[in-house]
Every structure is written in structure tokens, then in C-alpha cells.
Amino acid sequence: MNINTKILHDYPVIDPVTGSSSIPKYQTSTFHQKNVFTHTGFSYTRFGNPTVEAAEKCIASLENAQFSLAFSSGMAAINAVLFLLSKGDHLVLGKNIYGGTFQSIHLFLARFGIDCTFVDETDIDSWQKAIKKETKMFYIETPSNPLLTITDIKKVTELANEYQILTVADNTFMTPISQHPLDLGVDIVIHSATKFINGHSDVVAGLVATNNEELYQQLKEHQKALGGILGPEDAWLLLLGVKTLGLRMEKSVRNASELANFLVNHPKVTNVYYPGLEQHAGHSIHQKQCEDCGAILSFEVDSVKQIETLFTHCRVPIVAVSLGGVESILSYPWAMSHASMPEKDRLAMGVTETLVRLSCGIEDVEDLIADLDDALNAM
Ligand SMILES: *Cc1c(COP(=O)(O)O)cnc(C)c1O
């Protein structure tokens, strides 16, 4: 089955009890047991819920995985995975990492005696050099946020396999429409389903998928014990949103590509980061491991004084934290997604005070271009 058919048919999409063509919202915390020693497969919603299970089976299908789990947020999913590490273990990750992941590592892992090394994710030698005998996990995010640097997934997983290191990939930016980390040798794939998968800026959710049963059993225990489960209402909204993922991505990616070309040629823009541009350093690696170039780009303007003018003059995109909605979202990583990072770390990864990130929605591209052009010229 191809992906757009899978999105509509390859997981529970019909309620087995009534035949309802929309999986009902099983808005319940618990399930009556006719016999005290048995249950229907569901006993308590923190341990499992039919609406949530449908969302889990959906991401398993889309990521070509046997096992999957849903969480209350992308961060809950990431933390459940990071909890696979124990005292004395060593974690290697790219220096261009999602701000929340960076914060979690500094808040918890250091205190729990887990050592971390940040590497240049675009350079395979950098991953190799970071390996110690305690290294247990490689953590990949490609394209990265917000600079869209590219990590060669296959090269990193091959290196990890040589040393029996687990690999984890945050696949939020590409979605399962165009990048399949498990097929490239990654052990665990994570999504902030808040973004493109749900796609309507109305749910916060996280998903995890794997083909390793032992890892799944451990993560299932983490889901139960840490308690960051997805609620039935949000799972239901996610199931509604995901049905148009393929269509939405097609339009958003096309818009991003046209906007990138427009911005590259704009005199007020000093730099554009988009993996679809031939001059992007990771362009060929990205082409090799993905089916399209994604719907997110970032760009730089000349001075910090222009930032406020730019944001206040944009009328089409919403100005907000987050990405992956049907509406375009313009954000300012310096003060939004990466604000929790110390200034020197932000600058080291290239998150400057003049960097702007645009998540392209499904609007008519002429309107997006005209709007950005006005705002840029107002600076
Ligand atoms: C948003 C995001 C997260 C965190 O997800 P939440 O749903 O906000 O908890 C993690 N990784 C990436 C790449 C993201 O964009």
C-alpha cells in the first residue's frame, strides 16, 4: 500500500463495535470488567485506550514500524526515550538540537549521571570521534531546527551498528511522508505530532515508533510509569488531522520551495536555509534520504532592528511558536523555541538575533510572497 492510502486505511479507522467510520472518542478513564479476572484488552486509560491505540497504530503504519506509542507531547515522547539511558551511560547528539530536548538533557541527564557530547551532526567523523566505551545512544534530528542542517542517517546508523549503539531520530520536520528513519537503520523514531502530523495547531502530542520489541516493551513501561499519555480527545483530533497529511505536505512543500527561491533573490535577505536549494550544504545528502525538501525554511536579515518591523508587517502567516500547521507560521527562534538555551550556545549553533523561521502552510503562494515582500521592504 502506498502512503496516501495507508493514511486512510492501514490502521483502525472503523469502530469495531458500531461500524462508525470515525473512530469514537473513548472519553473514559476506566473500563468495566464483567469478570474480575479478565478485561476487554483495556483496563485503565493510562495503560491503553482504543482511540489512543488507533493513533498509535496509525504512526506504526506510516513509519513502517511494528510497534508504536503515543504521548501527551513531543517532549513526553523524547523524555520517555531518553529514560532508556542509565547512570554512567553516554549520549551523543547533534549540536543543532530542538531547544526543549537540549533543556531536558541539561535539566535531568546531568543530574542522573548521564554524560552527553554534542557533535557537528553534518560530519560523520565528529560522531566517530565522540564514541566512548560507555556510549549507548546516538540522537539524530534531520533537518535540524531551525537551521535545517542535514545529518546522513545511513552513515550514522552504520557507525552506530559497528559499536552496538542505539540510534534515535526525531522525524518531526520531514514527517513519514518523505523520510523513513527506521528503513535507514534507526532503532527508534520520534515525532512531535503537534506539528505536521496533526497539522491544525490545535493539539499537542508526541509519537514513538520502533521495530524492536524489547525497546517497545521498555518504552511502554515508561509511558505507563512516567504517565505522559495522550488523552482520548487529543488522539481523536490527531486521527482527524492526519488524514490530510499527504495533501497538506504536498502543498506546503511546494510553497516552501517557491518561497525559498523568492527569498534567495530578495535584496533584504542575507541568507536562506532550505535543503531544497542547491547551494545548501546538505542538499545532496538530503535528496538521497528524503522524497521532498520539507515545508520549513529559515532566513536571515541584516540587523536586529529590522526584526520587529518584519514581524509586525506580515499579515498572512501567524506569528507564533510552533510549526507544521495548515496556516503559515513565522517565528523568531532567538526569543521563542531557543530562548531557554544560553546565549553562547544559541550563537554557537547559528541561532542569531537576525534569524527568522518560516513554516509554510497551504495558502496561495502568491499571497505569501506578496506579504513577505511587503514586510521585507518595510524594514
Ligand atoms: C516541537 C518539537 C518538539 C517538541 O514537541 P512538543 O509537542 O512541543 O512537546 C520536538 N522536536 C521537534 C523537532 C519539534 O519541532
Enclosing H/E stretch for 167: strand 166-170
Q: What was the pLDDT predicted at 73?
A: 98
Q: Which phi and psi angles does 359 have, rounded to 5°?
A: -100, 115
- The finding on whether 204 has its CB within 6 A of some atom of ligand 1 is yes
Position of cell 482527524?
240
Say whether 170 is catalytic.
yes
- Ligand 1 center from residue 379 Cα (angstroms): 31
Per-residue pLDDT of the chain (379 residues; tens, 9 = 90+): 999 999 999 999 999 999 999 999 999 999 999 999 999 999 999 999 999 999 999 999 999 999 999 999 999 999 999 999 999 999 999 999 898 999 999 999 999 999 999 999 999 999 999 999 999 999 999 999 999 999 999 999 999 999 999 999 999 999 999 999 999 999 999 999 999 999 999 999 999 999 999 999 999 999 999 999 999 999 999 999 999 999 999 999 999 999 999 999 999 999 999 999 999 999 999 999 999 999 999 999 999 999 999 999 999 999 999 999 999 999 999 999 888 888 998 898 889 999 999 999 999 999 999 999 999 999 9
- Ligand 1 center from residue 18 Cα (angstroms): 35
Say whether 332 is catalytic.
no
The answer to whether the 3-240 and 247-378 domains have the same CATH topology is no
Cβ 203 vs Cβ 51: under 8 Å: no
The per-residue DSSP string of 296-315 comes to EEEEEES-THHHHHHHHH--
Cβ 176 vs Cβ 291: under 8 Å: no
Position of cell 542522573?
112
- The finding on whether 171 has its CB within 6 A of some atom of ligand 1 is no
- Ligand 1 center from residue 333 Cα (angstroms): 13
* Domain spans in the chain, listed from the N-terminal domain onward: 3-240, 247-378
Q: Which of 105, 121, 141, 195 has most ligand 1 atoms within 8 Å of CB, for mutation?
A: 195
Q: Which of 71, 72, 73, 75 has most ligand 1 atoms within 8 Å of CB, for mutation?
A: 75
**pTM listed for this prediction:** 0.97
Per-residue exposure over 57-80, b if at least 16 CB sit within 10 Å of its own CB, e if not: bbbbbbbbbebbbbbbbbbbbbbb
- Per residue, what are the HEC states of 340-377? CCCHHHHHHCCCCCCEEEEECCCCCHHHHHHHHHHHHH
Q: List Cβ neighbours of 264 (8 Å cut-off, separation of 6 or more).
A: 272, 277
Closest CA to 53 of 63, 62, 64, 42: 42
Residue nearest (by alpha carbon) to ligand 1 atom 2: 192
CA end-to-end span of the chain, whole Å?
Answer: 49
Q: What was the pLDDT predicted at 306?
A: 94
CA dist., res. 219 & res. 315, Å (int): 43
To the question of domain 247-378 being in CATH 3.40.50.300, the answer is no
CA dist., res. 102 & res. 370, Å (int): 36
Say whether 243 is catalytic.
no
Say whether 98 is catalytic.
yes
Q: What was the pLDDT predicted at 337?
A: 85
To the question of domain 3-240 being in CATH 3.40.640.10, the answer is yes
The residue annotated as part of the active site, out of 89, 152, 170, 234, is 170
- Ligand 1 center from residue 99 Cα (angstroms): 9
- Ligand 1 center from residue 377 Cα (angstroms): 32
Position of cell 566512548?
132
Nearest ligand 1 atom to alpha carbon 100:
4
Q: What was the pLDDT predicted at 338?
A: 87
